[in-house]
Copies of this chain bind each other. A is one copy, B any other.
Amino acid sequence: MPPKALPYRAEQLAWLSGQAHRRFTASKVGDLIAECEQAGFQPESEEAANVCEWRRQYDRATKVPPHLVEKLERTCAHAREAWREARQQSQFKLFKPHLDKILSLTRQMGDCWGYAQSPYDALLDGYEPGATARTLGQTFSELRSALATILPPAMERSAAVPGDSLKGNYPVAAQQAFNRKVAEAMGFDFAGGRIDTTIHPFCTRIGANDCRLTTRYDETDFTQSLYSVMHEAGHGLYEQGLAPEHFGTPLGTAVSLGIHESQSRLWENHVGRSAAFWEHWHPVACGYFPDLKRHSPAQITAAVNRVSPSFIRVEADQVTYDLHIVLRFEIEVRLVEGRLGTKEVPAFWNEHFASLLGLKVTKDSDGCLQDIHWSLGAIGYFPTYTLGNLNAAQLMQCAARENPAMETELRRGEYGLLRSWLREKIHRQGSRRLPAALMQWATGEMPASRHQIDYLRRKFVNQPPG
């Protein structure tokens, strides 16, 4: 956006967010929900599930006055540009006043929503209904302890794999063709979706039957676009798998970020970074990328699973990724509970980053300025990335248990069994159950960290490399 455009854009966004909020919180909407509640739908019916979720969302939304919604939106529009500038100059002080405003406004919103224990719970609820600082704190603490025992042997093993072993010549057109083949095999429906090019990969749904994925290309490294496409196509399969007959209602809407992220991580990591994946796709990929012929499937698998602590979250490997999230969670909870001041963020970040990952942060652009989220007003969002990882491991374990033929299929590059299972257990459920209840229903167990811990230990410590 051209720089002079910012003030008006901020007003546009504030106005739109206020309008959307006013429309959804209108008393007429409340009357309609109340009328539905009195209609006597069967407790287990689809209608009852929709009405229940509408009630939850309506009650939450009506607690916040429109002017606060507008103010946060306007503040964030300015904060985003300030964050870009601050990150570019690696100067936290340029962003700090904006973070102060955002923190103050989100805390005000948290007070409106209310909470039993931590004000952070009120924010979490907007991204992952039912999650709390306390339960997350416990999960993250288990995870952190386990990762401390997984990371050293995983790093040791990875030391034998050079960081740039796959560097080569991978023309954009070949990457596009190969990625499309993989996405088609996953079951992404290109008659109702597209893949385009952007700076930051994402998945978004424009409307019914219109799911857009984006990625970016590095002609020396095909893995960036491949794994971002598998990640985004995982999100896309969820969107495309929602029940079309429930479009626009809770039953036809994804339930939470933590469930959404489980779908992307499952396809990116459990499928895409497995030895089985490269056993099947290596010859196909060599047709697109002659440079890959000099690597065996096992070598490629080892290369795409290299574990090595690094500064930037979005480039982190599977083992260290959740440590990046643990750090952000610790900071957010403290900020929101008033136990940490914004001016202390860089020092807190750098100190804890060193203890978690063993690296010394020398500039804020590699540290607390790397993520856009806080400038978007998204405080309480980060934990859903790790919940996605935990859910993915739990789902994958259950899918394999319930589908004995799946492993063979995956080794043949066939994804029908896995996709059908996810479609039934997750996609078609929409928001019929809140995230924890959905996981319990789908896998027979409450969400837990042990599946991810077992998976990481098996993959990065116990299994023979490659």
Contact = CB atoms under 8 A, between A and B. Distances in A.
A12 interface: yes
List the 10 shortest-distance A-B pairs measured between CB atoms, nearest first: A5-B210, A8-B208, A4-B209, A4-B192, A8-B207, A5-B209, A4-B191, A2-B192, A2-B193, A3-B191
Interface in A1-33: 1-5, 7-9, 12
A5 B190 CA distance: 11
A206 interface: yes
A84 interface: no
B5 A207 contact: yes
Contacts of A206: 5, 9
A210 B1 CA distance: 7
A273 to B, nearest CB: 28
Contacts of A192: 2, 4-5
A194 interface: yes
Contacts of A211: 2
Interface string A207-241: 11111000000000000000000000000000000
A194 B4 CA distance: 11
B207 A2 contact: no
* Copies of this subunit: 2
30 contacts: A1-B210, A2-B190, A2-B191, A2-B192, A2-B193, A2-B194, A2-B209, A2-B210, A2-B211, A3-B191, A4-B189, A4-B191, A4-B192, A4-B209, A4-B210, A5-B192, A5-B206, A5-B208, A5-B209, A5-B210, A7-B208, A7-B209, A8-B207, A8-B208, A8-B209, A8-B210, A9-B206, A9-B207, A9-B210, A12-B207
A119 to B, nearest CB: 35
Nearest to A240: B4
A9 B208 CA distance: 8
Nearest to A12: B207
Chain B CB count within 10 A is highest, among A12, A194, A207, for A207
Contacts of A209: 2, 4-5, 7-8
Interface of A: 1-5, 7-9, 12, 189-194, 206-211
A56 to B, nearest CB: 26
Contacts of A8: 207-210
Contacts of A2: 190-194, 209-211
Nearest to A209: B4
A4 B2 CA distance: 34
A197 to B, nearest CB: 11
Contacts of A208: 5, 7-8
A12 B2 CA distance: 29
A2 B9 CA distance: 29
A8 B192 CA distance: 11
Contacts of A1: 194, 210
Contacts of A3: 191
Given A5-B207, A7-B209, A8-B208, 15 more contacts: A1-B194, A2-B191, A2-B192, A2-B193, A2-B194, A2-B209, A2-B210, A4-B192, A4-B209, A5-B192, A5-B209, A5-B210, A8-B209, A9-B207, A9-B210
Contacts of A4: 189, 191-192, 209-210
A328 B4 CA distance: 40
A210 to B, nearest CB: 3
A439 B8 CA distance: 32
A184 to B, nearest CB: 13
A211 B2 CA distance: 8
A196 to B, nearest CB: 11
